[in-house]
Structure 1
């Protein structure tokens, strides 16, 4: 078997699945997409039908193969990370809906475990928060069903495609059940969550032969598995310590490479596995902003803009935010605060406030949170980031990207490659299909489509960030 032919790379995401057929010589030669429609329910509940996830993978993959109109040698699958469900391992049928990573219903369970929060962070690198998989898994066991197995969505999708019962080390690291140092399941963490005795998937490398799927029309080896943000990290060649990327999707996710050792800092960032290849783990620091494109959709639903494509036009109608400050904590604040119970705030409104002021305030709010994450990375690493590589749909907004460069006071390099998550999992699929390849052989060449340099002084950036921090502090004080 050779990895030199095209591969099918599938990125199963929160609001849709994207599939690419990637040829090592010709690049992307086929693409397909299928929507996913999670349900946002009162009380911070977010769920989706597992069948919709599987259908989206098959529909997008088949469309990409039809578009390419040539066979592939392997398939890779990227996943959402912290989305979980219970399912029957004998039949593969789901026993519950999937609880999406944004779901907050396990907050009371986390409160019960508060005295073990530091122990869990030391074991797994993760703060105790319902964002991660283990609290949701425990909630399913307590409230929905004791039958079958309960796992992250990738294990179920992989089982449906190949019959294998596996998860990659980076996805396992998003559960809060993986020992960060050994990349093996932690019996202590399982016991704390009441999940001891659970049948858990085998933890595998990101690149290895998992099995063969016939669901795309003919037999294709599944040779690549990787959680979405780490796949994007790989595709943007963030492979050396001190480099970082941020993906602006439903949320915004900043990851910084730390090398072959986990870095447990005290800044509020997550220490986790970046990927495991050849049995050796690489690690990263990870910071999350829960609402980015989802906040843009919220503004759209209110009628302030007609869609993300309006950000620049509407925001450019005014020179600044007009004193408006937006903390877009519409699903709570993640790193470095870890206050999922918070609600957002929009302050400084007046009769002269126009839609453009609100749009600029939203861009400032997203960019300020990402800048806080970058500062946290610098504190944990002991040196500032040199630049930030970015991808995702919102990078098409010049207003947001310029705001990001201004508040960060560092260059922001926008990826010229769309769909970097799919490209990242396609790269590990090539590695898994051809063991003779090295990691450097499969990483796409980095070339930015645009580079945004800071246009404001460090003093102005500091003042704008201080205004944002003061509103966050006000939120924290009102709800503490």
Structure 2
């Protein structure tokens, strides 16, 4: 039995957050390092891999310094679909990391259209540049045939420990994993032209995979998982029928489906939630590509200063003033899967203010999440009773109230501001102590706030219908 604090690192799109977490005393230390991907014309989003690794070290060392205590294990959460090529002998990156938002592999996806149904049944995922395999194939076609090409977690773990592994949940984000058998699919590799690629070993999400000395002393790495599934675990969504949504760079709604994959027809993807002691749990997953990144876009334009202005600026007006914002700034994900579409602002007038734009953005994000929740309920065959939420944007009471209004469901805001990192901490504890149960390893919490719907169902339906009409009117739709 292993006891003591653990270090949990959440390597995200716009930054890396690290926590030192003690099961009895809570969070003892925090660290953060900003990451700023480069956005280039044509939907290209990339980042220097060395920046990612440096952010892991900076955030982790900062959390350890603040805690002032040694830890017994390390857990790492990752972005999921971000990929790069690298030299397995030296660890040297051979390309930039193509971020999950990157759309350059659209040509690969267009070619593979005839295989779409087969790939979706095999892997649970639609053919879309969002996932790792199209970007991996693009790198092999256009950049380099050298080294290995993997998701970013495999490279980070290799740099930390020398191991060449990925966890089952992250492997499920590639579109190369056989969803039922949880192993690399030779058929999917063949379709993508990746036959013969050296791929990392697939591990459980909680098990020792190696040791690192990058934080000053020897620490075992015992927890690995993709970010959204980490938050699903931290939110205690561990049984079928419950759902959570994380509002970060994007917004991601996941619903637990049990020990078998649920292949629905509502536009959500089916994927691995986690694998513990060789037993796989599955979930449904829906995505909004731009949430906090859309808020940052408004800030870059000078409409607001930062996300902290959403409530005071949006609260200055009673509604959106007839403005409808489809914040598809990097395309539309589930349930539409139209990555080529771009956003729109309609209903503008000379009387439109910054407050109206903020309200329209909040409504646009919330309307997309409402579509995901409706799709999850359809695929699960039962309505959701509430939506558990976490992430930085949950600090906005305006956004959360708008979400409850459009969902017509209670929205339960997590008291844990860093659910992804806490999910990684849970897995680190499970991997370090095989006798520990999930219930005992999970953080205990009650919602920090609960938002109940304040508008009648017919008003919510009208607002959602207006958003759907705006989506249908997007050029190219």
Q: CA deviation at 1:451?
A: 0.2
Counterpart for residue 239 of structure 1: 238
Question: Helix, strand or coil: the match of 1:57?
Answer: helix
User: Does the 8 Å contact 1:401/1:412 carry over to 2?
Assistant: yes
**Correspondences of 1:255-404 after superposition (within 5 Å):** 255-404=254-403
Cα RMSD (Å): 0.6
How many pairs does the alignment contain? 477
Q: CA deviation at 1:422?
A: 0.5
Question: Helix, strand or coil: the match of 1:448?
Answer: coil
Q: Separation in 2 of the partners of 1:315 and 1:50? A: 37
Structure 2 residue 215 is the aligned partner of structure 1 residue 250: no
Q: Separation in 1 of the partners of 2:151 and 2:329? A: 24
Counterpart for residue 210 of structure 2: 211
Q: Separation in 2 of the partners of 1:19 and 1:243? A: 27
Question: Helix, strand or coil: the match of 1:461?
Answer: helix
Q: Separation in 2 of the partners of 1:283 and 1:84? A: 23
Deviations 1:33-64, CA, capped at 9 Å, x for gaps: 11111100110000000100100001111111
Question: Helix, strand or coil: the match of 2:109?
Answer: helix
TM-score, normalised relative to structure 2? 0.99
Q: Which runs of 5+ in 2 are unaligned?
A: none
Counterpart for residue 172 of structure 1: 171
Q: CA deviation at 1:473?
A: 1.1
Q: Which runs of 5+ in 1 are unaligned?
A: none
Counterpart for residue 2 of structure 2: 3
Q: CA deviation at 1:446?
A: 3.1
Question: Helix, strand or coil: the match of 1:147?
Answer: coil
User: Does the 8 Å contact 1:84/1:133 carry over to 2?
Assistant: yes
**4+ aligned runs moved over 6 Å, structure 1:** none
Q: CA deviation at 1:154?
A: 0.3
Question: Helix, strand or coil: the match of 1:418?
Answer: coil
Q: CA deviation at 1:416?
A: 0.5
**Correspondences of 1:373-452 after superposition (within 5 Å):** 373-452=372-451
Question: Helix, strand or coil: the match of 2:448?
Answer: strand
Counterpart for residue 57 of structure 2: 58
Q: Separation in 1 of the partners of 2:98 and 2:367? A: 29
Counterpart for residue 479 of structure 1: 476
Deviations 1:127-176, CA, capped at 9 Å, x for gaps: 00000000000000000000000000000000010010000000000000
Q: Separation in 2 of the partners of 1:5 and 1:319? A: 50
Q: CA deviation at 1:332?
A: 0.5
Question: Helix, strand or coil: the match of 1:479?
Answer: coil
TM-score, normalised relative to structure 1? 0.99
Q: Separation in 1 of the partners of 2:214 and 2:447? A: 36
Q: Separation in 2 of the partners of 1:24 and 1:167? A: 26
Q: Separation in 2 of the partners of 1:90 and 1:352? A: 61
Q: Separation in 2 of the partners of 1:328 and 1:457? A: 25
